[in-house]
A = this chain, B = another copy of it.
Amino acid sequence: MSKIVECIPNFSEGRNKEVIEKIVDTLRGKEGVKLLDYSSDSDHNRTVVTVIGEPKALQNAIIDMASRVYEFIDMTKHEGGHPRMGALDVVPFVPVSEVTMEECIAIANKVGEEIANRFNIPVYLYEDAAGSSDRQNLANVRKGQYEGFFEKIKKAEWKPDFGPAEVNVKGGCAAVGARVPLVAFNVNLATDKIEIADSIAKIVRHIGGGLRYVKAMGVKLEDRNIVQVSMNLVNYEKTAVYRAFEMVKMEAKRYGVSVVGSEIIGLVPMAALINTAEYYLQVENFSMAQILEKRVWE
């Protein structure tokens, strides 16, 4: 198998099905590109797409998609509950197979530049593609949102990486980045006390003094009458799944509460679970090249 990159573009339309289909259609039936999933939220008025492909084919498909986005979406009329800075709001590239992060950063640069030039859009590079540390965090880049960017963009430190230093009134701005895949991982506790899940979440997550690449919150599972620590592992290579799991277990002990199970939501990179198996089995000198399927697909 050749080089595979994942892209999860988010665009600012989650209500008009006809428009959504016209936009998503640009990712269908293209050689070297595969649409895996898309879901629209009408409260957020936003659609999240998951698409994979060979680098060059994927880049071209995303540019095609962008041209429909800028044709059909008008930010002057957009409202929705989710933060957004433009019609094509965020475009992260994620390495999946036989591709390095450096290559994804290069792709983010190329796509960002092309979006800027072709559609006259201010483009910011974020996460691993960011040129400065204050642009790494997407929330930081997007702060102020579409409406606030008319002022924000005038500041020297918020000069776009590509394109004009002026908001495109119809299309807004765009954030294009490169990052490792997210793992959505929840740990279920043998208690119905939400305050226990909340306290553990606060301890485990980065902002609370916990693990560097963990975001967490307490959630009540009404139907099962238990609570869970719901986590986003934003860099499973640096903060491993098993480490987050063991830390939740360790903190739950303080309350005499045991772990009844866990959930992995959506897609997870094979390496995140292989690495966990390696830890528990204490495997010495393992290489991902020993995975039969890697040999098949490489």
Contact = CB atoms under 8 A, between A and B. Distances in A.
Number of copies: 2
A205 B124 CA distance: 59
Interface residues of A, number: 44
A156 interface: no
Contacts of A6: 292
A292 B181 contact: yes
Contacts of A294: 270
Contacts of A263: 283-285
A52 B294 CA distance: 12
Contacts of A207: none
Contacts of A34: 296
A34 B4 CA distance: 20
A269 interface: yes
A216 to B, nearest CB: 16
Interface in A260-285: 260-264, 266-270, 273-274, 276-278, 280-285
Given A274-B270, A276-B280, A296 B4 contact: yes
B282 A260 contact: yes
A291 interface: yes
A180 to B, nearest CB: 11
27 contacts: A4-B296, A36-B295, A96-B292, A96-B293, A96-B296, A97-B293, A97-B296, A241-B277, A242-B280, A242-B281, A259-B282, A261-B283, A262-B282, A263-B284, A264-B283, A267-B291, A268-B291, A268-B292, A270-B274, A270-B291, A270-B294, A273-B277, A273-B278, A273-B291, A274-B277, A276-B280, A276-B281
